[in-house]
Each structure stands twice: as structure tokens, then as C-alpha cells.
Amino acid sequence: MTGSLLEGRYELGPRIARGGTATVYRAVDTRLERTVAVKLMHPHLAEDPAAADRFVREARAAARLSHPHVVSVLDQGHAADGVPYLVMEHVEGSTLRDLLRRRGALTPREALEVMEAALDGLAAAHRAGLVHRDVKPENVLIAAGGRVTVADFGLTRAVDQHTASGTVLGTVGYASPELVTGQRVDTRADVYSAGIVLFELLCGRRPFEGTPLAVARAHAEGRVPDLRSVDPGVPGALARLVARATARDPEDRPADAREMLEQLRAVRAVLHPGELDRTPAPRPRTGGPAPQATGTDSAGTGTPAPRSARTEVLDRHPDAGGSPAPGGTRTGTLGRQQAPTQTLRRHLAPTEALRPAVAATEALPAPRPAGSTDPWRPAIELRPVRPLRTAAHLALAALAVAAAAFLGWLIGTGPGGTVSVPEVRGTGAELAQQYLAGAGLRNVAVHETPDPAAPAGTVIGTDPAASATVRPAEQVVLLVSSGPEQVTAPDVVGMSAEDAAARLGDADLAAGQRTAVTDDAAAGTVVGQHPEAGTDVAAGSAVDLAVSRGPRAESAPDVVGRPVEEAVQVLEEAGFTARVEESFGAPFGYVLSQTTDGAEVVLTVL
């Protein structure tokens, strides 16, 4: 898509990010000559009219927000092939995820400054009646000047439209229990996600790590651990703020981002400078690779800054102290970090050199020269060098290493390896694709099929089936329920009740409740049906019938002296409507007199 021109205005540049629903490109608005970010929906998702309509609706909802801590939605349109796209403000900088990769964890002061800005933006969305549903570090952008903005309102829903759909949207690493279990969600789901983000900012890891399915179950069934169990030095007021925001029951959380923001500011006010600027505890090393983040659906609008070089600048500070070592070497502090300040510009801007403090060790003694002790023999013997032979050896070694690496990839995680298809039945299609991607299966197709029991949009199986062994490049087909099979209700008005029942059976339907009504049609003739003819209904469902009992008699039958229930039944069978008027409380329940008024008979009951 790079180089394409959308609707004669937006020229697409390099890709910035790719998520589960869309790809984001850096682009140029040729009309206003400014840089923007264009979020283009994936073509295979745009083929679903419901998904495309939701994308457009949510773009319009996000465009209502105008706030300094929310990435602005500027325009919306459709590409030449009909795929919808959004045009958003382009934020030159990096994401909060990039900062966490560089730092591992932030000081309480820095974490609170980031979350204060993010919650301020979320509060604006909540005031507008919107819920973000995908709050995570990838969607918090930090501009070069330090401004923090919340991006990617692509999963936003109006609060009054939230219902349990059986489909989990958003990244499971930060999803609230009610979102994971498919229950109704509101602003408190964003509060939960913000609490998880604050947890990660303070200790450098999320409370739950593992496979997407395991993380989702942990959010749904477990409780977020106490922050001090990970880092005992975290101030108690800060740990309690995280605990309130991540409470399993939404009723125990702050009602919205505004309330959490007020609590955050109150906590910061009671912390003294030593607590705000404390160095986070280092993450323990287990000897293996660090756990990978469970959420990968990022579609932010910022341009990530390049990774900083691994080589550290060795600065000798005037106040480092230390006496000269032999040979003029001086010990000191290597790359010492400056003291924290109050501004994000100095601490969190992506261009800031964020280096850990490293204590210097004493200078090592100079190595003794190796070689012979004979004073007449040189310490180093010079031998002729053959450049071509050396280059050939190096080339062969490099080829051998590359071949071994390729072979390991091929039979490991590459096309030559195999993986097991995870169990995804009962989830929504989008969450199932996240699970499959987490297992290394990205070639996924979706096939809808009717199912009499599973709600529409629910995954009912895969092909190959769960636990089957496949290669990562093989295609896995998600079988998604489209709901019960739909049939058209036939027209049975005018048929006899028996013929109508047979006709409904031929259409894979059943005759439901039969109601006798007075009609000029012959007795036993169907004179009405519900649902009406031509309506699409679920296969196997029932159609209620109104059956004629024949025309009304010319005169009402005499029911004086009969019990009231019996009298009413006799009149209705004759095609008349009975209206009962009680006399003296009707202690005996017998008809004392009757008066006919057209089709209505008034009964006086004693």
C-alpha cells in the first residue's frame, strides 16, 4: 500500500504498526501538506459488512473527542477497493511500550506522571459516553516533547451499546474480567486496564504472564497480586491504588477514569520525595529469556524511536571521587544517571538517554606480557599474514553459522517445525485468532456455518481440530457459528389446521400454539399466523396459528343461573365477548342476569 493515494488526498508512506484489525501508515495530507497517520482496516475484515460498519461508527465516536491527551481523529473514508480507513493526528515519538523496553520499570514519580495524563484523556472519553476497551502501553504515545496521548480508539463502543456478545475484543494481558468472560462492560473496564498498566510501570512486568488463554483465565478467575509481593519497597498508598483499580468486582473499582485520576493525585500528594524517586527493584533473573508480552495487537500512531546503542558512554564526573590508580587510571561512576525531575520532557521523552546507574569497580592491575623470558628474544613473534586465506576461513565460518541457524529455524519455529492447534471453542473469532497467533499459527481463515445451539459469532471448532499437529505455515480454518439456520415461514392462512401443520413441517418448522377465534371462515380454518408469512425464522422454531371456530351465532345463548366461568366459556364458543359485572361482591359466583350489546354480553354476577 505504500505509495498509494487514498481518495486523491492521502499519500501513504511507510508502515508504522500492524494490529489485529488494521494497519497504520505514516502518510501525507497533500491538500493541507501535513503529516498524518492513516489506519487502514484489513481487507479480509472489511468483507464483513458488520465489521466495516462498526469500524466507521467507532471512528465517528472517536472523532467527537478533542483533548490534549487523546490522539485526534481527523477524517474517515474508503479506499478504492472499499476498505474503510481513518486519518489521525501523527505523534512523532515512541510508545510507552518502547520506554518500558528501555527502562524495565519507572520510578513512582514518572509512573504517576504518565498515568495522570493517560487517565485525563480517558476521562474525556468517559465523559463523552465512550469506553476505550484496549488500554495498554502500546496505545499510550509519548511525543518528543514529553506530551502523553492515548491512541487507538478502534475498539471504542458507546456505553449504552455494550452487551455480552461472546467475543472478547482488546488485548488479553490488560483485559478486565468482565471483558474476558463476555459480560457487559463499562468505564470500569478501562479503569481495570489502567491499573494493570500502572502495575507494569512500577515493577516492570504484568501481574499475569503466559499463553493468551492462560492469561485470560487468570484475569477471569484470579485476583491481581499485591504490588508489594513483587516489589516490597513500593509505597503502601500506591499499592492500594493499584489494588482498587484492579479489583475483580467492578463495583469495588473507581467508577471511571476521572475518579481514578482523583485518587491518583491524592496518593501522590501524600508521598514524600524519597518515595516518589525510589529506584524500582530489579527483576530477578531466572537464567532464561524474559517472558514475552501477551498482547501484540498494537496499532498506535507514533513513530518508534530507534533503539539506543548498547555501548555506554563512560562519563567521569567531577564529583565522582577516587584516587588515581597506577598508570594514571582513575576510578569513578560510569554513565551515572541524573537526579529525577518533575517533568516528562526530561524523564520520558524518547530522545532522552535513559541509562541504568552502574557502579565502577577498582582498576585491574596491568596484565603481564606473555611469551618467552629470554631478553634477546622478542616478546611477540611476527609471522606472515595471508589475507585471502583468513578471509576465506571467516567466510566459511559465517556460512556455517548461518546454515546452522537456518536449519534450527526451519525445524524449530519455521515452516519445518510443528505446533499443536490450541483449543479455542467457545471464544469469539477475534480472540481465537489471537490464541492461534500466540501458538505460531497466523495463516487463519474464517468460515461461518449454521449451528442450532451456539450464538452467532462463537467459534465452534477448527479444521484441523484442536490438539492436531500442523506446520506454522499451514492454514487453520476457524469454524464460526452464524447462529441457527434460517428458513422462511410459509403462508398457511386459509388451510385447515392439519394441512397447515404439515406445510410447516415441510419447511422445517413446527405448529405452535393454536388459538380459536370467531371468524366467518369455516371452523377449523387457519385465519392468522405468527410470525407472518415471508419472515425469516430459525429452523425448528414454532409458528403460532389462529384457527376459526366459525361465525358468531345470531343470538347469544342463555347463561343465566350458570357459574360465571362456565357462562363465559359458552359465550366465547358462540363468538361473543363476555364482560362480568359483580353485584355485592359476587359471593356465590352465579350469573344473575345478562344483557347483549352487539358482540358483547354483559353478565351480572351474584
- DSSP, collapsed to helix, strand or coil, labels residue 355 as coil
Nearest to 55 by CA among 155, 136, 150: 155
Choosing from 29, 48, 98, 134, the catalytic residue is: 134
Helices (H), 306-451: 344-347, 387-411, 429-438
Cβ neighbour number for residue 439 with a 10 Å cutoff: 19
How far is residue 543's CA from residue 182's CA, in Å, rounded to a whole number? 32
Helix 257-270 and helix 108-127, axial crossing angle in degrees, nearest 10: 160
Helix 429-438 and helix 212-221, axial crossing angle in degrees, nearest 10: 130
Helices (H), 254-384: 257-270, 273-276, 344-347
How far is residue 46's CA from residue 316's CA, in Å, rounded to a whole number? 58
What sign has the CA pseudo-torsion 279, 281, 287, 290? negative
Nearest to 342 by CA among 143, 116, 141, 138: 116
Q: Which residues contact 367 (CB under 8 A, 6 or more apart)?
A: none
Contact yes or no for 543/510 (Cβ under 8 A): yes
**The one-letter amino acid at 565:** E
Catalytic residue flag (residue 134)? yes
How far is residue 137's CA from residue 394's CA, in Å, rounded to a whole number? 43
How far is residue 73's CA from residue 90's CA, in Å, rounded to a whole number? 10
Cα angle, residue 268 at apex, residues 188 and 229 outer, rounded to 5°: 70
Contact yes or no for 129/159 (Cβ under 8 A): yes
| Cis upstream peptide for 235 (omega within 30°) | no
DSSP secondary structure, 205-256, as one string? S-S--S-HHHHHHHHHHS-PPPHHHH-TTS-HHHHHHHHHHT-SSGGGS-SS
Nearest to 209 by CA among 173, 181, 245, 170: 173
Contact yes or no for 580/552 (Cβ under 8 A): no
How far is residue 26's CA from residue 3's CA, in Å, rounded to a whole number? 11
Q: Which three cell numbers stand for residue 299?
A: 496499532
Q: What distance lies between CA 344 and its chain's CA centroid?
A: 28
How far is residue 62's CA from residue 39's CA, in Å, rounded to a whole number? 13
Active site residues: 134
